Amino acid sequence: MPVYPVERVPATSRGVFPHMAKRDAAIWSRFLDTYADMFDHFAYDVALGGQVVNEAAGDEATRKAWQYSTALKVDVVGFREDATWIIEVKPSAGVSAIGAALAYAELGEIDKFSEQPLLPVIVSDRITPDIRFCAGQLGVLVFELPEPPPAFTRLDVGGVPERTRREGLAG
């Protein structure tokens, strides 16, 4: 079992992603905007593994806290009817994202918390062709969700966006 019980939240839940960095949360929000309806529930910051210490190390709460602090934390677990996704959210995903997704899926097999097959997944804003290829060869599913471009990209000398100036919206 994971260090602490897995707390499932509805797939429609937004805004609070425990221990997720700001850039990661922005990428994850884009994923949810597009794919949340494919899932029943999500769980965040799921702690797997960790060092289990003997009773002499302290009371149950202290021992659990130690195990949690040494455990590996899955960014997101996505629960579907057909599979449980082990999701690593990583800006500019590289080989470490592949390793994390694979390692978390392996620990999930030991710290059993789902009867469904576990699928390692990477969600990122940028993934190079080499990383996409390697992930595919290793059975890691990849989602690339780049940041949307700004609404206006070219400014004229006066600082008025070209589109605004052209449409006669500038004063």
Taking only the tens place, the pLDDT of each residue in 129-150 is: 999 999 999 999 999 999 887 7
**Main-chain dihedrals φ then ψ at residue 46, nearest 5 degrees:** -85, 120
Residue 107: Cβ within 10 Å count? 20
What's the whole-number mean pLDDT along residues 23-49? Answer: 95
Q: Closest by alpha carbon to 21, among 3, 44, 1?
A: 44
Confidence (pTM): 0.82
Least confident of 24-28, 143-147, 157-161: 157-161
pLDDT value for 167: 57
Look at residue 162 and tell me whether its pLDDT is greater than 80.
no
Domain annotation for the chain: domains and CATH numbers:
9-147 (3.40.1350.10)
pLDDT for residue 125? 97
Which residues are within 8 A (CB) of 24 and not within 5 positions of it... i.e. 6 or more apart?
17, 75, 89, 90, 91
pLDDT of residue 128: 96
* Sheet order of strands, 118-124 included: 9-10, 41-48, 72-79, 84-89, 118-124, 141-144
Structure tokens at 93: 């995903």
Number of H helices, E strands in the chain: 5, 6
Higher per-residue confidence, 57 vs 82 = 82
Q: Is 140 helix (H, G, I), strand (E, B) or coil?
A: coil
pLDDT of residue 154: 55
Extract the tokens encoding 157: 């000398």
pLDDT in tens, 75-103: 999 999 999 999 999 999 999 999 999 99
Average pLDDT over residues 56-80: 88
